[in-house]
């Protein structure tokens, strides 16, 4: 009896080990496919580019399909495995892409949510093909179609999906200080200490921290140089100067001086896909010692999938603006508190 139990336990252990290695092998094969496609896209052939529907959407779909198809053909898998196994392939591919510095953290973070969804959809297709398509030729043809899917849209998708879009983002904060105090803290922004900046998810995935904003001279035509970590500089030319009410400016990133280590090419400000165009502070007096400060920006988005990309650009710009507003609020209220001590 004991011998039978030991044999059964040994069999279960071997089966688990076998399944584990099957999952690893499937994930590695799928991940290798993803890395190969990224290398090919980096060669800048018209057949496949990174910022295309073919790569962003069909690559994870195909990668997930391959991984589950291989596992299902070897041994019948549960439906849940069809969903999560593609994630291993995707993480394997993204890990290889990150290690080889083909993409930066910010691009990988933005790609990951949609990539996981599409990889799982591909996994479901791969599982269904392996389990229910009886003909070996039909299965082979199905998988061949999946493998070449990322290459199909690139030659023509720009003419169909490409869109130039201008987007506006606004954030608001109430500050316990008069408008003249708030104005002095936005026309110029002295160097921001690290402890003044609140935590930021956008910074965590690679967005540089703001440092300071200098002003050449007051009034329309004045130039603010807004500096960020990593030698990122925005040249802001003032076109609205209404002390205590409005401060607005056009924005041009000093793109040529931005090191490739600050922002990679696909999210570079002033690049082909994204740019920041305008910024504006608007002060709303609520009472003698309370000012509502509005900070808005306008940015340009130019991709084949703006419907997804704008979710990220809007969120990143909002996160940055919230941090700046919190710094201004803290400085204004601290100064106001110091002044009231003398009365």
Structural domain including 134 reads: 2-159
Specify whether 248 is located in the same domain as 107. no
Per the listing, tokens 């089966």 go with 15
Specify whether 118 is located in the same domain as 35. yes
- What is the mean predicted confidence (pLDDT) over 13-42? 85
How many Cα atoms are found within 13 Å in the side-chain-facing hemisphere of 157?
22
Specify whether 153 is located in the same domain as 263. no
Of 3-12, 44-53, 118-127, highest mean pLDDT: 118-127
| Contact yes or no for 272/70 (Cβ under 8 A) | no
Of 132, 159, 186, the one marking the end of a domain is 159
CA distance 245 to 279: 14
Specify whether 126 is located in the same domain as 199. no
Specify whether 189 is located in the same domain as 317. yes
H helices of the chain, in order, are 2-42, 53, 59-74, 79-99, 105-132, 136-152, 157-161, 179-187, 201-204, 306-340
Specify whether 320 is located in the same domain as 171. yes
Of 126, 159, 192, the one marking the end of a domain is 159
Specify whether 295 is located in the same domain as 271. yes
pLDDT at 262 > cutoff 80? no
Residue 247 forms beta bridges with which residues?
241, 281
Give pLDDT, residue 191: 96
Give pLDDT, residue 155: 81
pLDDT tens-place string over residues 273-331: 999 999 999 999 999 999 999 999 999 999 999 999 999 999 999 999 999 999 999 99
Please give the structure tokens belonging to residue 203. Answer: 């910074």
CA distance 92 to 72: 19
Of 103, 133, 159, the one marking the end of a domain is 159
DSSP, res 255 = G
pLDDT tens-place string over residues 166-175: 999 999 999 9
- What is the mean predicted confidence (pLDDT) over 138-146? 91
Number of domains in the chain: 2
Specify whether 167 is located in the same domain as 294. yes
Specify whether 258 is located in the same domain as 323. yes
Specify whether 331 is located in the same domain as 192. yes
Give pLDDT, residue 38: 94
**Between 59-74 and 105-132, two packed helices, what is the crossing angle to 10 degrees?**
40
């Amino acid at each position: 009896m004991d011998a039978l139990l030991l044999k059964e336990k040994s069999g279960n252990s071997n089966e688990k080990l076998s399944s584990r290695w099957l999952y690893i092998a499937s994930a590695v094969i799928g991940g290798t496919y993803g890395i190969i496609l990224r290398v090919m896209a980096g060669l800048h052939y018209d057949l496949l580019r990174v910022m295309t529907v073919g790569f962003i959407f069909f690559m994870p779909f195909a990668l997930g399909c391959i991984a589950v198809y291989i596992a299902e053909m070897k041994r019948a898998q549960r439906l849940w495995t069809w969903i999560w196994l593609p994630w291993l392939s995707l993480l394997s591919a993204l890990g290889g892409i990150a290690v080889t510095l083909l993409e930066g953290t910010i691009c990988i973070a933005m790609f990951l949510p949609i990539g996981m969804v599409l990889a799982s959809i591909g996994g479901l297709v791969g599982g269904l093909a392996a389990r229910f398509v009886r003909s070996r030729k039909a299965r082979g043809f199905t998988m061949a179609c999946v493998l070449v899917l990322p290459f199909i849209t690139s030659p023509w998708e720009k003419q169909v999906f490409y869109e130039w879009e201008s987007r506006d983002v606004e954030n608001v904060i109430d500050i316990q200080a008069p408008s003249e105090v708030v104005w002095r803290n936005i026309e110029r922004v002295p160097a921001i200490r690290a402890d003044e900046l609140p935590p930021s998810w956008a910074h965590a995935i690679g967005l540089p921290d703001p440092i300071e904003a200098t002003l050449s001279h007051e009034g329309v035509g004045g130039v603010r140089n807004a500096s960020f970590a990593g030698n990122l500089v925005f040249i802001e030319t003032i076109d609205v100067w209404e002390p205590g009410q409005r401060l607005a400016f056009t924005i041009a990133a000093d793109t040529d001086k931005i090191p490739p280590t600050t922002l990679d090419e696909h999210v570079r400000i002033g690049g082909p896909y994204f740019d920041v165009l305008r910024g504006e502070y608007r002060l709303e007096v609520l009472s003698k010692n309370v000012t509502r400060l509005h900070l808005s920006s306008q940015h340009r988005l130019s991709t084949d999938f703006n419907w997804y990309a704008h979710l990220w650009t809007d969120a990143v710009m909002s996160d940055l603006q919230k941090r700046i507003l919190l710094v201004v609020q803290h400085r204004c209220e601290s100064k106001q508190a110091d002044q009231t001590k003398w009365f």
